[in-house]
Amino acid sequence: MKPETRTLIAIFLIVLISIVSYRFLPRQQAPRPAETAPEESISTLDYEIDETVPPEIAEAPVQVSQEEDSVSIETDLLRVSLSTVGGSITSLVLKEYEDLTGSKGEGAQLAELIPPGRRAVSSTVRTKESTYDLGEVNFTLERVVPLSDTGAAEVVFSVLLPDGKSFRRTYTFKDSEYTIGLREVCSGDPRELRVKWQAGLRQTEKAQRGYLNYFSAMAMVGGLYKQWPLPKAVKTIRDGDAMKVRELEYVGRVDWGAVKTKYFLACFIPRKEVRYFRVDTVPYAEKEESSNLSVTLGTETSVAEYDIYVGPLQYDRLRSFGLGLDRAVYLGPGWVSGISRLILRILVWLHRLVRNYGVVIIIFSCIMMVVFYPLTFRSLRSMREMQKLQPKINALREKYKNESQKLNAEMMSIYKKEGINPLGGCLPLLFQMPVFWALFAILRSMIELRGAQFLWIGDLSERDPFFILPVLMAGSMFIQQRFTPTDPRQKAMTVMMPLVMLFIFWSFPAGLVLYWLVYNVLSVVQHYLLHRRKEESKGAPA
C-alpha cells in the first residue's frame, strides 16, 4: 500500500470515527476491520516464462574506430546532444520546462533529464560466438539530416564489429513530439539485440524528504502493468537474493519499459516484437545526489525499432499512445482514478479560462460547494433535529446506563419514529472523501501544477513554505464547528479536531490545503446564513 494511501485512510478514519463518536451512537461496538489481502506478488504473470538459461558467451572487445565527435539536434520541444561514443544521447533538454533545483523565472535553467556524465542509450549485440557491448565504443557519425519544414531530422551512427558484421543506429526527431525514433540494424544473423536506457533520469526538483520515492522503473509485461520503486529495486539488488533479483527480469511479451521521476518519463515503446526486459540500478557517480535505475529491452531479430518517449508525465499525452502508458501518472486507487480523471479535466479546462491554478482551485472549491449543497443542507437539518431530541436521548442514557444494547435499540426506535437518520450529519464528509482523495493524487502528480505560483506560494504541488494555509485551514475548521450543533459533552472535540487536521495537513500539497480552506470558509458562510435564516423564522410573527 502506497504511503499516501495509508495517510488518506488515516485521515478518513480519524474524521469519520470522531464524528460518529459524538453523533449519538457512542456505545455501539465498532465493527472489526476486514483483513487486508496480501499484495499480489510482482512476479505473477499471465504468460509462461522461458526459464532456459542461455549458454555462457564470452564478451569480445570492439575496436575504437575514431575520436569522439558530437552532434546537436533541436526541435520546438527538445534540445538533444548525441555522441559517437556508444552512439548515445548525452544531453536532453525539455524546452517548455524549467529546472526547479535552482532559481526560477528569468535566468532559470531548462530541465535537463540526463544526469551529468551519463549516456542514455546503449546497445549490446549477442551472436552465436560473442557478446559485444557497444556502450563505450566509438561509432562513426555516418549521416546528419537537419530538421526541416518538410521532414524529420535524422542522425545515423555505424560501427564495424570484430567478426565483420556491421551495426547501424538511426535516430529520428520531429517537431511537436517528445518521441524520438530509434532503429538498429545488425548484419548477419545475431541472436539478440538489446537496448538499454542506462542513464536513469536527472533530479529536476528541489530535494525533499521522500522525493526519491517517485523514482521508479515500470513496464507493461504480458499485458500486466508492473512498477519497481527505486528504494525497493536498490535493496533487492544489494541484498542479492536470487529469487527476488529474478523478479526484476522477464522473458515474454514486452509492450514497453520505462524509468520515471515525479514529473518526467523515459520510455522504450517497441515497434517490433520484444521478448526481454530487465531492471538494473545505475552505479552511483560522484556528481550525482542519488542512485538511479535503468531498463533493458531485447529482441531476437536483426532489426530493432523503438519509439523513445522522453518528456512530461502528462496524462492525456500518454493516454494517446493507447498502451497503458497513462498508468505512469498516479491518480489514486482504482475506485478513485475515475473521479481523478474527471477532476483533472475540469481543472485543465478551467485553466484555459483562468491562467492561474490557485484561482482555478478556488473556483473548483466553489463548484464543489454548489454540488454538495443539498447534502450539506440535509446534514444541518438532521443535526438540528437530533439536537431537539437530546433531552429524550439523555433520559434514555440515564435509564439504560447499564444496558447498552437496550439503549441503542430505544435510541434507534426514536430516530425511526421521528424520521431521522443518525448518520445524516456524516453524509457530506462521506461524499467529500473521494473528491479529497482524488485531489490529493492529482495535486501530487499533475505536471500542470509543477511550479504553479499563487500569492506567496512558489509551487502549489509542494507544501506551503510558511505553513500559513494549514493554520488558516485549522482556524476555519474551528469557526465552522461553532455553527455546528454538537453534544455539549463533546466540546473538547471542537478543539481537538482542528488541531488533528492541522497536524495532518501540515506537509500536504499547498493546492490541496487551499481547496480545503476555501471549502471550509464557504461552509462557515453557508452555516451562518442558514443559522440566521432559522433565527429570523423564529422571531417572525405567527
Give the side-chain half-sphere CA count within 13 A for 183: 9
- What's the rounded Cα separation, in Å, for the pair 312 and 447? 7
pLDDT of residue 531: 65
Separation CA 433–CA 443 (nearest Å): 15
DSSP string, 175-200: TT-SEEEEEEEESS--SEEEEEE-S-
Q: What is the pLDDT of residue 226?
A: 92
Cβ proximity of 159 and 170 under 8 Å? no
User: In the beta sheet, which residues pair with residue 219?
Assistant: 226, 257
DSSP, res 322: S
- Closest to 437 (Cα-Cα) out of 330, 317, 346, 356: 330
Report which DSSP code applies to 42. T
- End-to-end CA gap in the chain: 60
The CB density around residue 68, as the number of other CB atoms within 10 Å, is 11
**Is-contact 92 310, C-beta < 8 A?**
yes
Assign 290 to helix, strand or coil: coil
Distance CA 360, CA 343 (A): 12
Q: Could you say which DSSP state residue 127 is in?
A: -
Cell numbers for 302: 536483426
Q: Is 8 left (phi over 0), alpha (psi -120 to 50) or beta?
A: alpha
**Cβ density class 484-515: b for 16+ within 10 Å, e for less:** bbbbeebeebbeebbebbbebbebbbbbbbbb
Q: Which triple of cell numbers denotes residue 269?
A: 515503446
Q: Which residues contact 46 (CB under 8 A, 6 or more apart)?
A: 222, 223, 224
Q: 191-217: b or e for each residue (b if 16 or more CB lie within 10 Å)?
A: bbbbbbbbbbbbbbbeeeeeebebbbb
Spatial separation of the C-alpha atoms in residues 92 and 112, rounded to whole Å: 6
Contact 254, 218 (CB under 8 A): no
Query: What stretches of 164-314 show up as alpha helix (H) in DSSP?
Result: 230-239, 242-246
Residue 47 has a pLDDT of 31
Contact predicate 177/75, CB 8 Å: yes
* Count of CB atoms situated within 10 Å of the CB of 346: 14
Q: Strand pairing partners for 153?
A: 173
pLDDT of residue 243: 85
**Residues 6 or more apart whose Cβ sits within 8 Å of residue 441:** 4, 330, 331, 332, 336, 337, 340
pLDDT at 465: 87
DSSP secondary structure code for residue 484 in this structure = S
Q: Name the packing angle between helices 427-445 and 3-21 (round to 10°).
A: 160
Q: Which residues of 74-89 are buried (b: 16+ CB within 10 A; e: fewer)?
A: bbebbebbbbbbbbbb
CA distance 489 to 494: 11
- Taken in order of first residue, the domains within the chain and their CATH numbers are 3-23+335-539 (no CATH), 70-202+210-329 (2.70.98.90)
- Listed as own residue / partner, the contacts of 34-39 with beta carbons closer than 8 Å and 24 or more positions apart are 36/1, 39/1
Q: Which helix (H) or strand (E) holds 325?
A: none
Q: pTM value? A: 0.77
- Per-residue pLDDT of the chain (542 residues), as tens digits, is 554 444 445 555 544 444 443 333 333 333 333 333 333 333 333 333 333 334 333 444 554 445 788 999 999 999 999 999 999 999 999 999 989 887 665 557 899 999 988 999 999 999 888 899 999 999 999 999 998 877 899 999 999 988 888 999 999 999 999 999 999 999 988 889 999 999 989 988 876 666 777 889 999 998 899 999 888 888 888 888 888 888 899 999 999 999 999 899 999 999 999 999 999 988 655 555 556 899 999 999 999 999 999 999 999 899 999 999 999 988 887 778 888 888 888 998 999 999 899 999 999 999 988 888 777 767 666 666 666 777 777 777 777 777 777 777 777 777 777 666 655 556 666 767 788 788 888 887 788 888 888 999 988 888 888 999 999 988 888 887 766 655 555 566 666 778 888 888 888 888 889 988 998 888 888 777 766 666 555 555 54
